[in-house]
Amino acid sequence: MDLANVQLGFDIATSVTIVGAAATFVWEQRRKAMFERKQGINEYTTSIAADKIQQTINSVSSVFVHQLVDASQNVERHFSRGMSKEEICSRIKEGHIKVDDVIAESDKFLSIYGELLETLSASRYSILPLLDALGQNEFIAAYKNDIDDIRTHYNNLGSGGIYLLREIQSLRIGLTEANMDRAAIEKVINGADDGAVTFIRSDIGRRVMSIVFDADYLIWTKSFVPDDEEESFAQAVKDRDITPRVVNVAIGLSIKVAEDVEDAYRQIITLIGSMMQSSRREVKDVICNLSSVYFQLLSRNSGEELSHTAARYKSKEYFALDEEIR
């Protein structure tokens, strides 16, 4: 046996084993380094995302708690819970509730609400990619819908609530200046076969028809028609069709403002208060959802679905979405 050849073969085999082991070691170290680097990047990215979410929560919740809620309660304070319709009307008539004050306070609420809407709209460009990275497509749609709902509340409150109160106040002043009380309105209507047409073509009548034909005011004007005619009345308003029902609503609204404006004010102010409560809840709902995302970032291994976290945070045990104002 050639010992030199055996030794050479052994050396070659050993060398191959050593080189293979070294290559494996280098590969494992490289893979480990790449994994740790990726983990480091992920942790850094998550940290940045968490900071961004926290900043948005702090910004929105601070305005919500310290400004928006206070502004809405300034309107709600005019009529405490359990106060009867007669008591509210009496307070309006006696000047304890001033329409000008309600309008100013409502405008302040709307201004704050608009600022929150702008903040949340801008936040989409950082929040949505984050939700996308977390694989939460359901919450992407929900977050966009939340912002759309806030925008709808903003528009409805401004054009359908506050501006309606202004228009009714202006109509009341116009009726007073024209000496048009219930008797004067009925005299015009009953004075001829086309008395109703004559009335709606008058200066006061045209102002009333402008209110009736404003679709944003349907939330209130539909109260002048029976429930089973609301749909046809709404369609006539949108088509600007002067149907007998539309004329009757115009006359009824005119008499209401001329004879019982305090109750008209009560209805609209109560409506504004209700719209503010819904608007306020919508913002709190968004804050709860953002807090849920924040929790997911802080505890990525919790195993809890984002939707479950959101439901938990909206419960009485945490932020009490439906039980607490703030």
The upper half-sphere exposure of residue 194, i.e. CA atoms within 13 Å in the direction of its Cβ, equals: 4
* Structure-token pair, residue 187: 């005299």
Q: What is the pLDDT of residue 60?
A: 94
Q: What is the pLDDT of residue 14?
A: 57
- Which H, E and C letters describe the chain, residue by residue? CCHHHHHHHHHHHHHHHHHHHHHHHHHHHHHHHHHHHHHHHHHHHHHHHHHHHHHHHHHHHHHHHHHHHHHHHHHHCCCCCCCCHHHHHHHHHCCCCCHHHHHHHHHHHHHHHHHHHHHHHHHHHHHHHHHHHCCCHHHHHHHHHHHHHHHHHHHHHHHHHHHHHHHHHHHHHHHHHCCCCHHHHHHHHHCCCCHHHHHHCCHHHHHHHHHHCCHHHHHHHHHHCCHHHHHHHHHHHHHCCCCHHHHHHHHHHHHHHHHCHHHHHHHHHHHHHHHHHHHHHHHHHHHHHHHHHHHHHHCCCCCCCHHHHHHHHCCCCCCCCCCCCC
Q: What is the pLDDT of residue 155?
A: 94
Q: What is the pLDDT of residue 15?
A: 54
Domain boundaries, the chain: 53-313
Buried b (16+ CB within 10 A) or exposed e, 78-103: bbeeeeeeeebbebbeeeebebeebb
Q: What is the pTM of this model?
A: 0.82
Q: How far apart are CA 304 and CA 143, in angstroms?
A: 19
- Which H, E and C letters describe 55-68, residue by residue? HHHHHHHHHHHHHH
Q: What is the pLDDT of residue 31?
A: 52
The residue ranges of the chain whose pLDDT is under 70 are: 1-45, 80-81, 301
Q: How far apart are CA 120 and CA 258, in angstroms?
A: 43
Under 8 Å CB-to-CB from 107, ≥6 apart: which residues?
162
